[in-house]
C-alpha cells in the first residue's frame, strides 16, 4: 500500500507527541547547574518558609495536591517512558494516593504538660534544608511525597534524584515550585541539579547547610548516607515474604498476593516478592493463582532460563526490573497470553529468583512443613532488612508469632501489600519507609526536630 502524505503526517505527529513527553520541560523552577547554587537557593527559600504560618504552608500543600492530580497521567507516562519500568495505570493510582493521603501540617503536633510549676511544650520545628536521594522505581511519587512532608515541617529540600529518572523528577520539582508560587509561597521549596551524579550527591551530603539526609533506595545509598557524618533517615531495600497458613481464606490470599505482587510490575519496595506457604495449602493456593489470577507456571527449564536472563552474571539485570510478566517471558522465548500477570513456580528458599529482591512479577512459592517452619523461612528470606512482610491467616497466635519474629516496619494481614500505603487500607501514604533507621513510614513529623519550650510558674490556669 503506498504511503500517503497524510499518513506520514500522522506518524510524525505521533512521534512528536511521544517526544514531547520524553523531552518534557526541564523547566526553570528549582533546577540548577551547580549543586552548591541549588542548596543556596533552597536555603533562601527556607528562610521564608520558616516564617510562614502553618496555614500558609498548608495552602501550598493543598495546591501541590491539586497539581499532582492534574498531572498524574503525565507523570505516570513520563516515569514509564523514561525508566522503562512499571505501568502507567498503576502509576496514575500511586500519584492520586500521594495527593490524597500524604499528611500535611496536621501531622505537626504539640505535646503539653501543665501544672503547678507552669507549662511545658514539645514543639516540632524544621531542620532547615533537607537533602533527599530518591529511587528510579517511584521517582516522582517520592519527590512529591517527600516535599509535602518536609515542607509541612517547615523545611525546604534539595534532591539528588536517580540519574535514570531525572526528567520525571525535574518535572515533579517544577510542579512543586509552581504550586508554591501560585499559593503565595517562594520559588525553590524543592531544588535539584540538571545532571545529578554521585559527585553532586557527595557535595550535598557534605554541605554544611544540610543537617539531615533522607535516603530512599537500595543498601548502597543508605550505607553511604549513614556514613556521611550527618543525621540520616535510611529507607532501604526489602524482600517481603507473604506467609500463608492453613487457616487463611486461600482463594482470597491468592488474589491479594497476585494483586500486591503485580502492582506497578512489582516495583514498590513493600510488594510481595515471594510466598512461604504451609505444605497443606500450597497446591490450592497455586491452583487459584493459575485459574483465577492470570498467573503463568514456569517449568524448571523456564526457571533456569529466567535466572540466566534476570540474574545475568549473578547480577540483577536492570533491563528486567519493573517489566511485566509477558515481556519477561518473551525474553526467554515464551509467547504467553496477553493477560499474563505473574510468573509463579515452586522452589526452595535458596532459589536465586526467590532469595533476590527482583522487583518484577516473578513469584516463587516456598513450601513449609508447618507454621513454625514457614516463619523461619520467611525471616531468612527477609534478610534482616526489617522492611515489610505479609501474612494470610485467621489465627491471631500465628500472626503474633510471625510479627514478633520478622520485626518489620510493615506487616499486612489478609490483604495486598499496597494496603500498607493506605490504598485499600487505613492510614497515611508515604513512599519513604525508613526500614534501616527505624522511623518506619515517614511523614511530616519525621522531618522535624523536637524542642522543649518551658514557662515556669505561669500560664497554668487549671
Ligand atoms: P538505587 O539504590 O540504585 O538508587 C537509589 C538512589 O540512590 C538513586 O538516586 C541513586 O543514584 C542513589 N545512589 C545509589 N548508590 C549511591 C551511593 N553509593 N551514594 C549516593 N547515592 C547513591 O535504587 P533504585 O533501583 O533506584 O530503587 C530500588 C531500591 O530502592 C530497592 O532496593 C527498593 O527496595 C528500594 N526502595 C526502598 C524504599 C523504602 O521506602 N524503603 C522505597 C523505594 C525503593
CA of 153 to the centre of ligand 1 (A): 24
**Residue 292 region, left (φ>0) first, then alpha (ψ -120 to 50), else beta?**
alpha
- The residue whose C-alpha atom lies closest to atom 26 belonging to ligand 1 is 135
CA of 161 to the centre of ligand 1 (A): 9
- The residue whose C-alpha atom lies closest to atom 33 belonging to ligand 1 is 237
Ligand 1 atom with the smallest distance to the CA of 432 is 40
Alpha-carbon distance 431 to 409, whole Å?
A: 13
Q: How far is CA 216 from CA 79, 159, 195, 322, in A?
A: 17, 11, 19, 17
CA of 217 to the centre of ligand 1 (A): 2
Compute CA 23 distance to the chain's CA centroid, rounded to the nearest angstrom: 24
Per-residue pLDDT tens digits for 425-438: 999 999 999 999 99
Question: Which pLDDT score, from 0 to 100, does residue 387 have?
Answer: 98
Q: Are the beta carbons of 103 and 152 closer than 8 angstroms?
A: yes
CA of 135 to the centre of ligand 1 (A): 5
Alpha-carbon distance 256 to 245, whole Å?
A: 14
- The residue whose C-alpha atom lies closest to atom 13 belonging to ligand 1 is 221
**What are the structural domains, with CATH classification, of the chain?**
28-236+441-452 (3.40.605.10), 241-424 (3.40.309.10)
Question: Which pLDDT score, from 0 to 100, does residue 400 have?
Answer: 98
Alpha-carbon distance 120 to 198, whole Å?
A: 44
**H/E run at residue 329:** helix 325-330
Question: Which pLDDT score, from 0 to 100, does residue 462 have?
Answer: 87
Alpha-carbon distance 281 to 298, whole Å?
A: 19
- The residue whose C-alpha atom lies closest to atom 9 belonging to ligand 1 is 162
Alpha helix (H) residue ranges in 86-134: 88-101
**Residue 324 region, left (φ>0) first, then alpha (ψ -120 to 50), else beta?**
beta
- The residue whose C-alpha atom lies closest to atom 7 belonging to ligand 1 is 221
Query: Which residues have C-beta within 8 Å of that of residue 396, sequence separation ≥ 6?
Result: none
**H/E run at residue 325:** helix 325-330
CA of 373 to the centre of ligand 1 (A): 32
Question: Which pLDDT score, from 0 to 100, does residue 12 have?
Answer: 40
Question: Which pLDDT score, from 0 to 100, does residue 10 have?
Answer: 53
Question: Which pLDDT score, from 0 to 100, does residue 4 have?
Answer: 52
The string of DSSP letters for 339-389 reads T--EEEEE--TT-HHHHS---SSEEEEEEESSHHHHHHHHHHHHTT---EE
pTM of the full predicted structure?
0.93
Ligand 1 atom with the smallest distance to the CA of 433 is 40
Residue 200 corresponds to which cell in the numbers above?
553532586
Residue ranges of the chain with pLDDT lower than 50? Answer: 1-3, 8-9, 11-13, 15-26
Q: Which residue has the cell 504467553?
A: 336
Alpha-carbon distance 422 to 113, whole Å?
A: 32
ipTM confidence: 0.99
Q: Among 135, 197, 232, 320, which is best to mutate for testing ligand 1, by the most ligand atoms less than 8 A from CB?
A: 135
CA of 33 to the centre of ligand 1 (A): 23
Alpha helix (H) residue ranges in 153-293: 166-182, 198-206, 219-226, 250-262, 279-292
Protein residues whose CB sits closer than 6 Å to any atom of ligand 1 = 133-138, 161-163, 198, 201, 216-218, 220-221, 224, 235-238, 269, 357, 431-433, 435
Closest CA to 410 of 435, 447, 374, 442: 435
Closest CA to 282 of 381, 390, 367: 367
Q: Among 195, 221, 264, which is best to mutate for testing ligand 1, by the most ligand atoms less than 8 A from CB?
A: 221
Handedness of CA 383, 386, 390, 395 (dihedral sign): positive
CA of 69 to the centre of ligand 1 (A): 26
Amino acid at each position: 500500500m503506498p504511503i500517503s502524505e497524510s499518513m506520514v503526517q500522522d506518524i510524525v505527529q505521533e512521534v512528536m507527541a511521544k517526544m514531547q513527553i520524553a523531552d518534557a520541560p526541564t523547566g526553570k523552577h528549582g533546577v540548577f547547574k551547580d549543586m552548591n547554587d541549588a542548596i543556596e537557593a533552597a536555603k533562601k527559600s527556607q528562610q521564608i518558609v520558616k516564617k510562614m504560618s502553618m496555614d500558609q504552608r498548608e495552602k501550598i500543600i493543598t495546591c501541590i495536591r491539586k497539581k499532582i492530580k492534574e498531572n498524574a497521567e503525565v507523570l505516570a507516562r513520563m516515569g514509564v517512558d523514561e525508566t522503562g519500568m512499571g505501568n502507567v495505570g498503576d502509576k496514575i493510582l500511586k500519584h492520586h494516593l500521594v495527593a490524597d493521603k500524604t499528611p500535611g501540617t496536621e501531622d505537626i503536633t504539640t505535646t503539653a504538660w501543665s501544672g503547678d510549676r507552669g507549662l511545658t511544650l514539645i514543639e516540632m520545628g524544621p531542620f532547615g534544608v533537607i537533602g533527599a536521594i530518591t529511587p528510579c522505581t517511584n521517582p516522582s511519587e517520592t519527590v512529591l511525597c517527600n516535599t509535602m512532608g518536609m515542607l509541612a515541617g517547615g523545611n525546604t529540600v534539595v534532591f539528588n534524584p536517580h540519574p535514570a529518572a531525572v526528567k520525571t523528577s525535574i518535572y515533579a520539582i517544577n510542579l512543586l515550585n509552581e504550586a508554591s508560587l501560585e499559593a503565595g509561597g517562594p520559588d525553590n521549596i524543592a531544588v535539584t541539579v540538571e545532571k545529578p551524579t554521585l559527585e553532586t550527591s557527595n557535595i550535598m551530603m557534605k554541605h554544611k547547610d544540610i543537617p539531615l539526609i533522607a535516603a530512599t533506595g537500595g543498601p548502597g545509598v543508605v550505607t553511604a548516607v549513614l556514613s556521611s557524618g550527618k543525621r540520616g533517615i535510611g529507607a532501604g531495600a526489602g524482600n517481603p515474604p507473604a506467609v500463608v497458613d492453613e487457616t487463611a481464606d486461600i482463594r482470597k490470599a491468592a488474589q491479594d498476593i497476585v494483586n500486591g505482587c503485580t502492582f506497578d510490575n512489582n516495583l514498590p519496595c513493600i510488594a510481595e516478592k515471594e510466598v512461604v506457604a504451609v505444605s497443606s495449602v500450597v497446591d490450592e493456593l497455586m491452583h487459584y493463582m493459575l485459574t483465577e489470577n492470570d498467573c503463568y507456571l514456569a517449568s524448571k527449564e523456564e526457571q533456569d532460563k529466567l535466572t540466566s536472563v534476570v540474574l545475568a552474571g549473578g547480577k540483577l539485570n536492570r533491563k528486567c526490573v519493573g517489566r511485566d510478566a509477558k515481556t519477561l517471558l518473551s525474553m526467554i522465548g515464551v509467547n504467553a497470553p496477553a493477560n499474563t500477570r505473574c510468573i509463579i513456580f515452586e522452589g526452595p528458599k535458596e532459589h536465586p529468583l526467590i532469595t533476590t529482591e527482583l522487583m518484577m512479577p516473578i513469584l516463587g512459592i516456598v513450601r513449609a512443613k508447618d507454621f513454625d517452619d514457614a516463619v523461619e523461612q520467611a525471616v531468612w528470606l527477609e534478610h534482616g532488612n526489617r522492611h515489610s512482610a505479609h501474612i494470610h491467616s485467621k489465627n491471631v497466635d500465628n500472626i503474633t508469632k510471625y510479627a514478633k519474629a520478622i520485626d518489620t516496619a510493615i506487616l499486612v494481614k489478609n490483604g495486598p501489600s499496597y494496603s500498607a500505603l493506605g490504598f485499600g487500607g487505613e492510614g497515611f501514604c508515604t513512599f519513604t519507609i525508613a526500614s534501616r533507621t527505624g522511623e518506619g513510614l515517614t511523614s511530616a513529623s519525621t522531618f522535624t526536630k523536637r524542642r522543649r519550650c518551658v514557662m515556669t510558674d505561669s500560664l497554668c490556669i487549671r
